């Protein structure tokens, strides 16, 4: 599902205009990004968490050149689904 499809679906279910839903969705995504940039995780009970994960330093390979290189330790944004969310999806997809 694309962002446009998500906006259309929320607008259909709630009766709110698509433009207003788009503003709300963009605001939500901007708020999550801003929180992660401030190193603050975002927790949505029953849905999941937007968190910052630490990646350890590792050795990588450039397959085209056949060389190895060191990939330094870094942080990445991640989504960790909540257990009720995972359970619901697993039951539904069986």
66-87: string of b/e by CB count within 10 Å (b at 16+)?
eeeeeeeeeeeeeeeeeeeeee
pLDDT digits (tens, 9 = 90+) for 47-86: 999 999 999 999 999 888 889 999 999 999 999 999 999 9
Q: What is the mean pLDDT of residues 82-93?
A: 94
Q: Which two tokens stand for residue 7?
A: 């906006």
Using a cut of 0.85, tell me whether the model's pTM lies above it.
no
């Amino acid at each position: 599902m694309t962002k446009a499809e998500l906006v259309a679906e929320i607008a259909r279910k709630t009766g709110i205009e698509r433009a207003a839903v788009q503003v709300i969705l963009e605001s939500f995504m901007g708020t999550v990004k801003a929180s992660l940039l401030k190193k603050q995780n975002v927790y949505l009970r029953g849905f999941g968490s937007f968190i910052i994960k630490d990646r350890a330093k590792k050795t990588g390979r450039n397959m085209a050149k056949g060389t190895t290189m060191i990939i330094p330790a870094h942080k990445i944004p991640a989504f960790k689904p909540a257990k009720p969310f995972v359970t619901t999806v697993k039951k539904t997809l069986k």
